[in-house]
Amino acid sequence: MRVAIGTKNRAKTKAIENVVSTYFNEARYEQFNVSSNVSEQPFSDEETRQGAINRAVNTLKASGADLNFGLEGGVREMDGVMYCCNWGALALKDGTMITSAGATFILPKEIADQLRDGKELGPVMDEYTNEIGTRHNSGAIGVFTANLVDRTEMFEHIVKLLIGQYIFHNSLTK
């Protein structure tokens, strides 16, 4: 089974490989740098979900693989509170699109205000933690949950929901 991943972000690729290898031991993985066709910093659930779908579609176009994953991080506002939100999409060759959302958690006001001013979460988190590449490692979720949940684990949950729905879909179409 060929598995294509629409990113080279390590937190995302690790999550996909960890989960898919649990259920399919014959999987071969390929990574593609594809566009999300949404803003660099998605600002709603709708835009974040669309980014994940676009990445999955663009990955399918580039790869022709059996499973094509798109994972996208974004933010959304509710009652004046900014949350980080996360979405995943899985595109199949027959045109089926499976989607799922993951963890949502609060971004502190000092982070949220910088995003409202037009900055991106990735660089803002690097400045906040004084580290390089937070988005590849623990991520904002690790920093703001005392490392109880890191970015890989958060995406693993989304990928599990996608694979579970894929297995269910296959059981209906067989």
Ligand X SMILES: O=P(O)(O)OP(=O)(O)OP(=O)(O)OC[C@H]1O[C@@H](n2cnc3c(O)ncnc32)[C@H](O)[C@@H]1O
For ligand X, the binding residues (CB under 6 A) are 7, 9, 12, 36, 40-41, 72-73, 84, 120-122, 125, 134-135, 139-141, 151
Residue showing tokens 């490989």 = 17
Give the residue at shortest CB distance from ligand X. Answer: 122
Element (H, E) at 68: strand 67-78
Of 98 and 125, which CB lies nearer to ligand X in the complex structure? 125
Q: From the CB of 97, what's the least distance to ligand X, in Å?
A: 18
Of 65 and 111, which CB lies nearer to ligand X in the complex structure? 111
Of 39 and 170, which CB lies nearer to ligand X in the complex structure? 39
Q: From the CB of 174, what's the least distance to ligand X, in Å?
A: 33
- Please tell me the chain's helix, strand, coil percentages from 3-state DSSP, rounded to the nearest 5: 45, 20, 30
Phi, psi of 87 (to 5 degrees): -130, 155
Closest CA to 27 of 168, 172, 139, 166: 166
